[in-house]
Homo-oligomer: A and B are copies of this chain.
Amino acid sequence: MKPTLQAVADAVGVSRSTVSNAYSRPDQLSAALRERILDAARQLGYPGPNPTARSLRRGFVGSIGVLFTSQLSYAFTDPFAVRFLAGVGAATERHGTSMLLVPLPPAQTDARRAVENAAVDGFCVYCVADEEWALDVIRQRGLPFVSTAPRDDAGPDERFVGIDERAAAHSVAAHVAGLGHRRVALLADSVLLDAPAGPLTLSGVDQVPHPTTHGRLAGFADAFAEVGVDWAELTLLNAPGNSRQAAAAAVAGLFDRPAPPTAVLAGSDVLALGVLDALAERPAGDRPPVSVTGFDDVPEAAAAGLTTVRQPAEEKGRIAAELLLDPPADPAAGHVLLPTALVVRASTGPAPRS
């Protein structure tokens, strides 16, 4: 049995309060006594105050949760998510807080439980899919959180860090439109929950439930509407997951259609890279000159020569954590919009004249 604080107190012949003070409030006792206590603790093999008991008593835990509303193992394969985590890590590091990664089981009920049971003082919610239920749980627990997806119904005290998805998406799409492309496919992850890979028909972009995906698709559509191509003329492709494989599956057969798109705008770099994979797999003589764009500007994008929109990944994570750990006095400061930039590389070019 591990010795408790009580055991140390008994050994030294002082009260528990004094031992507690020796650890947590050194100024409350004489240096000599403190040394005596710490020595006795060492002797007894007392490992210091039990973190759980301390948390219960103090009312806070000293760690923040990071919630990926997707498989945790997936999150680590997403370069953008990893940079985000690095940012959160940097902030927690400075703050002396730990970060808890909470895996969400596939079943909805179990996932709720996971969020309910997480021992944290707040959450950074990194959303890749439906998240409302998670926010409900967090609110119910009375915990603060920072979201990275734009939400219409965000309360005034709800903190956010992100980008203007729609404007950013507009910028790449306008670039592609400017190159003359008119037959265009839009590719996104989770256009509709649980839709299969491939083409999808939606009466309008507002049917897309996930705010990030909605924002990006809307931005793409805006740019083409400006050049006279409207929603119904765009090919919408669903990728069941944000992975190169999912993207490749989504564009299967696409370029063998009668009038294939001359450009594919993807909702993320990972998806765009998957499209390039699919193109590269075709025999060299049969590669249509398709322009492809991504989103995020992850490290791999540069190597692949991908035209994309840059957003500061690490910064996003860092600010999310800081917003949580040091809530700004002014609630308006709890809403941070990060800059984005269009990065033009070799993956886009003029539309072929046809």
Give A contacts to B, CB under 8 Å.
2, 45, 47-56, 61-63, 71-73, 75-77, 82-83, 85-87, 89-90, 92-93, 96-103, 105, 110, 113-114, 116-119, 137, 140-142, 303
Question: How many Å from the CB of A206 to the closest CB on chain B?
Answer: 31
A117 CA to B47 CA, complexed, in Å: 10
Contact A100-B103, Cβ < 8 Å, known A2-B142, A85-B76:
no
- Say yes or no: A117 contacts B82, CB within 8 Å: no
A2 CA to B56 CA, complexed, in Å: 14
- Say yes or no: A140 contacts B72, CB within 8 Å: no
- Say yes or no: B93 contacts A105, CB within 8 Å: yes
Residue among A85, A100, A103, A303 with the most chain B CB within 10 A? A103
Q: Which residues of B contact A55 (CB under 8 A)?
A: 52, 119
- Say yes or no: B118 contacts A89, CB within 8 Å: no
Question: How many Å from the CB of A48 to the closest CB on chain B?
Answer: 4
Could you give 16 example pairs across A and B, Cβ below 8 Å? Answer: A47-B137, A48-B113, A48-B116, A49-B117, A52-B52, A55-B119, A56-B56, A62-B119, A77-B86, A89-B103, A92-B103, A93-B103, A98-B101, A98-B102, A98-B103, A99-B101
Q: Which residues of B contact A53 (CB under 8 A)?
A: 56
A172 CA to B344 CA, complexed, in Å: 40
Look across to chain B and name the residue whose beta carbon is closest to the beta carbon of A110.
B96
A303 CA to B304 CA, complexed, in Å: 11
